[in-house]
Amino acid sequence: MKERLEETLRRLAKEREEADRRYNDALTAVDRARPETSSLPRPRPGFDEHQLAALNQAWNTLPSPPDIGGMKGRFAGFVWRIIGPYLQRQLTFNSLLVDHLNRTTAAAREANESAGHVIDSLEARFAALGEFTLRLMLYMQQVTAYIDTKNRESASGTLVLNTAINVIGEDLDKRWESLAARLETRTASLVSSHETLRAAVGVAQQASQSLKRELERLRVEQPQPASTGGAAAAQTPAALNSQAFTPALDSFKYVGFEDRFRGSREAIRRGLEDYVPRFAGVHDVLDVGCGRGEFLELLRAAGVTARGIDLNHEMVELCRSHGLDVTEADAVGYMERLPDASLGGIFSAQVVEHLQPSYLLRFLELGYHKLRPGGTMILETLNPACWVAFFDSYIRDITHAWPLHPDTLKYLVLASGFTQAEVEYRSPVSDEHKLQELPPPRTLDEKLITLTEAFNENVRKLNSRLFTHLDYAVIAKR
Q: Among the ranges 158-162, 250-254, 282-286, which has the highest mean pLDDT value?
A: 282-286
pLDDT exceeds cutoff 60 at 259: no
Between the CA of residue 395 and those of 101, 149, 354, what are the distances in Å? 129, 84, 12
| 440-453 tens-digit pLDDT | 888 777 888 888 88
CA dihedral angle for residue 77, residue 81, residue 83, residue 84, rounded to 10 degrees: 100
In the predicted model, what is the mean pLDDT of the chain?
79
End-to-end Cα, the chain, rounded Å = 43
Provide the pLDDT confidence category of residue 217 given band limits of 50, 70 and 90. Answer: low
Q: How many CB atoms lie within 10 A of CB 335?
A: 22
Q: Among the ranges 155-164, 262-271, 283-292, which has the highest mean pLDDT value?
A: 283-292
| 177-213 tens-digit pLDDT | 888 887 887 877 787 677 667 666 666 666 666 666 6
Q: What percent of the chain has pLDDT over 70?
A: 78
pLDDT exceeds cutoff 60 at 253: no
Question: Residue ranges of the domains in the chain?
Answer: 2-39+53-176, 238-428+469-477
Task: Tell me which amino acid residue 298 is.
Answer: L
| CATH number for the domain whose boundaries are 238-428+469-477 | 3.40.50.150
pLDDT exceeds cutoff 60 at 66: yes
| 335-369 tens-digit pLDDT | 999 999 999 999 999 899 999 999 999 999 999 99
Give which of 332, 354, 476 is closest to 418, Cα–Cα. 476
Taking the C-alpha atoms of residue 102 and residue 99, their distance in angstroms, rounded to an integer, is 5
β partners of residue 348? 379
Q: What percent of the chain has pLDDT over 90?
A: 27
pLDDT exceeds cutoff 90 at 239: no
Give which of 286, 260, 246 is closest to 366, Cα–Cα. 286
Give which of 138, 150, 147 is closest to 27, Cα–Cα. 138
Between 161 and 232, the higher pLDDT residue: 161
Is 470 in contact with 271 (CB distance < 8 Å)? no
Residue 236's pLDDT is what? Answer: 45
- The tally of CA atoms less than 13 A away on the side-chain side of residue 275 is 31
Question: Is the dihedral angle over the CA atoms 145, 147, 150, 156 positive or is it negative?
Answer: negative
Is 328 in contact with 248 (CB distance < 8 Å)? no
pLDDT exceeds cutoff 80 at 118: yes
Residue 30's pLDDT is what? Answer: 79
- Mean pLDDT over 380-408 rounds to 85
Among 60-64, 317-321, 413-417, the minimum mean pLDDT is found in 60-64
Provide the pLDDT confidence category of residue 289 given band limits of 50, 70 and 90. Answer: very high
Taking the C-alpha atoms of residue 173 and residue 167, their distance in angstroms, rounded to an integer, is 10
Among 66-70, 153-157, 176-180, the minimum mean pLDDT is found in 153-157
Taking the C-alpha atoms of residue 468 and residue 473, their distance in angstroms, rounded to an integer, is 14
Q: Is the overall model pTM greater than 0.85, yes or no?
A: no
* DSSP codes, 236-274: PHHHHHHHHBPPPPPHHHHHHHHHHHT--HHHHHHHHGG
- Mean pLDDT over 107-129 rounds to 82
Between 250 and 166, the higher pLDDT residue: 166
Residue 169's pLDDT is what? Answer: 72
